Structure 1
Amino acid sequence: MLQSNKITALYCRLSQEDMQAGESGSIQHQKMILQRYADEHHFLNTKFFVDDGFSGVSFEREGLQAMLQEVEAGRVATVITKDLSRLGRNYLKTGELIEIVFPENGVRYIAINDGVDTAREDNEFTPLRNWFNEFYARDTSKKIRAVKQAQAQKGERVNGEYPYGYIPDPNNRHHLIPDPETAPIVKQVFAMFVSGVRMCEIQKWLAENKVLTIGALRYQRTGQARYQRAMIAPYTWPDKTLYDILARQEYLGHTITAKTHKVSYKSKKTRKNEEEQRYFFPNTHEPLVDEETFELAQKRIATRHRPTKAAEIDIFPACCFALVADIRCITNRA
């Protein structure tokens, strides 16, 4: 493939924190700067790759991954960003792209505002700039975490999520009100479960009545891409989702905050906090189930038996020992 036929990838990224910078940091402003630079320096066959509303710490970005697929396929000659932080704020991964991935695929990288151009030999300060970009992300993460902790201590919802069956009060987003569409579903699931209906029958009822799963419903309501995959099986409710609903104290009208924490500001993975690390606020909104129904559900959940592989392996030896003991007993009697 001739160099002139290859793509000039113009990459734009904007995070929630960057939006505070106003129009100067907007996607449209970045596009204007990148296209003008490409035109003035005669970079041909330009193509935009965009991630709007994504942190630079994570590299699991749709636009970035699409661009890297083109890079690895050998279809990109040059990658241009407004500055290094647009490419990423993770020191190690950004450095890997600039110093390994791009050179191995014959890609020239340019960060306009930082004066970085890998076609030159004067990029010694690029790793230092990447480190400062990560330091900024780390500092921002600490500040956000402190704000969220303070909100959690006041009983405010900090992640924008809310339990299935509720919606935010239009007059106060931290207050929940029953969702007319899904609150009856929660009540029906509890009623069926405590009456002894098997989980597979509850799932069958949900599918027959075309009740959208939580992810499918959120995709239908918001159109957000991260829920799009749920539309592959929009009426197939996993066991875990239903058991999680049956165990949520929010359906008693209580608020529990600080349930989880992030492993690291560089990771999307979360871990559950211990009970003593959580904050409990009773009677904050209208309950969907009463105490008796909820307790009955917990008792039935507690009786579930899910043998581990070790337990399954031990079943046969245990039976053998019991059989041997019986034989010995019969022999002794004889």
Structure 2
Amino acid sequence: MARWEIKNVRLTGVAMSVPSKVVDTHDFDFFSSEEAEVFNNTVGIYRRHIAPDGMCASDMCQVAAEKLLEELGWERSSVDVLLFESVTGDYRTPPTSCILQNRLLLSEDCFCMDIPMGCCGCMYAITVAGNLLTTGNAKRALLLVGDTALRMGSMKDKSRVPLFGDCGTAIALEYDETAYDIVVDFHTYGKGYEALMTPHGGFRHPITPVSFKYEDFGNGIVRAPIHTLINGMNVFSFAISRPPKSIELFLADYNLDRNTDIDYFLIHQANKMIVDRIVKKLKFPQEKVPYNLEEFGNLGGASIPSLMVTRIREQLMKGEKTLLMSSFGLGLTWGTMWIKTKPMIIPDVILI
């Protein structure tokens, strides 16, 4: 079983940056006014922040990291681990984490690693870094999680374009023998990988002239093999079935009462229909489930840290809070994480 109880690791702070450009659903020319309203009311995404040409996920993550390091008062040389979680790295090679080590002026002794795990990325990064810190051999970790997901798809693909926003986050973890355990549970259904994928551009299907040839699939879906695709029905079925079952088992295994033992349920902000269905199926108290997709859209791996910054920032800064996180996406992968935080450092959202 892919389950860990990570000891001696504290979540110290979170920061978030987004591009200043905001695109309203009504701004998309493939939507009529009526269609835009239907999309807003069903999918629940009204606006999203979009990075301009030349701005990468690493740029947004760097801004968030600089601010977080400043407010934490961490010396750059004290960061032992740097993870960059993104599916939109600067280059195919080298790893973007290595580039960020230099840009952030971190020590040459810093362990760097890229993790391209998509919507589960934040929880993967916490799991990897947590296991590196738990023995005390490394003391501090900086996790940079973000994407410019819009660029991965076709701007003519009505099924994908309006879903995503761009964002960069930074998460600080620190070795702390007084910290509460972090418990994480992961699963993988590799058979379903084709539901979320980019067909061309890797070594299985290298880029050729055919990679850029558009095909009309009907219903406003026009894309080429170089673009990321979403099989909406398969993803929806997966998201409302496997993750809730795992959460239910997790709660039972650890004897957690959803009404009294959890302060907030942080669910990956894929779309309103999916989140609503999970909340209803698991009978979560609605007041304990923050949403921010109406303002930011699906932020991939940055979705959960963005909820911390935009919706429960004051609560996390003031006192201890118990969080249950659920993510699901590429792979297909899904996971559940329980974490009890001490008062954290959380700067307000940074517009760039």
TM-score, with length taken from structure 2: 0.22
Higher RCO (C-alpha 8 Å, min separation 6): 2
Higher strand share: 2
Larger Rg: 1
Higher helix share: 1
